[in-house]
Amino acid sequence: MDDNVRKTDEVDEIVAAWQRERGDLDSSPLEIFSRLLRLNRHLDKFRREAFAAHGLDVWEFEMLSLLRRQGEPYQAQPSQFMSELLVPSGTLTHRINTMVERGHAIRHQDSKDRRVKYVRATPLGIERSDRAMADLLESEEAMLEPIPMKDRREISRILRDLLLPFGGTGS
């Protein structure tokens, strides 16, 4: 395709329609946020399919990933999941139960203080999350391949700037 030919997408059509119908409004934020929303929907579907190939749900990969990043013994307290993954207590309990049933995690208590509880990834959970992560990074790299590294760094910086006002770590 000729580089001088302007590429358009459905967001361009949406913005043009809003400009036509409500020219008194600045619809330019839609050019960014509607694209981010659409991209998120595609990535969400892509990740669901990629993780399912390894026997994992997206949320389960996120939880195993948090445990994996802790280093050995690959464990965390439930409060860490709630703060880092923004998961409410009731949802977290259900997710931990599911991970235990699937053999991806175990629960245990601190040996010195029985009030302290942990969730620990099992070898099966680590193996599946490691394979899923390797496949995910390979696929995402392929998607980014047409974008020069300097542009990737700039996109990353801009997205970080957009996220910072929301605070917290999220995942």
User: Do 85 and 147 fall into the same domain?
Assistant: yes
- The amino acid at 23: G
Give the pLDDT confidence of 85-137 residue by residue, as tens digits.
888 999 999 999 999 999 999 999 888 888 889 999 999 999 999 999 999 99
Tell me whether residue 133 is in a domain.
yes
User: Do 88 and 162 fall into the same domain?
Assistant: yes
Tell me whether residue 1 is in a domain.
no
User: Do 48 and 83 fall into the same domain?
Assistant: no
User: Do 91 and 38 fall into the same domain?
Assistant: no
Tell me whether residue 69 is in a domain.
yes
- With a pLDDT cut of 90, the percent of the chain lying above it is 78
Give the pLDDT confidence of 15-47 residue by residue, as tens digits.
999 999 999 999 999 999 999 999 999 899 989
What does the alpha-carbon distance between residue 3 and residue 70 come to, in Å, rounded to a whole number? Answer: 46
**Residue 120 phi/psi, 5° resolution?**
-125, 135
Q: Residue 136: its pLDDT value, please? A: 92
Provide the whole-model pTM. 0.78
User: Do 31 and 77 fall into the same domain?
Assistant: no
Number of domains in the chain: 2
Q: Which domain holds residue 39?
A: 10-52
If you write DSSP's letter for every residue of the chain in order, what string do you get? --TTSPP--HHHHHHHHHHHH-TTS--HHHHHHHHHHHHHHHHHHHHHHHHHTTT--HHHHHHHHHHHHT-TT-EE-HHHHHHHH---HHHHHHHHHHHHHTTSEEEEE-SS-TT-EEEEE-HHHHHHHHHHHHHHHHHHHHHHTTS-HHHHHHHHHHHHHHHGGG-S---
Q: Residue 4: its pLDDT value, please? A: 57
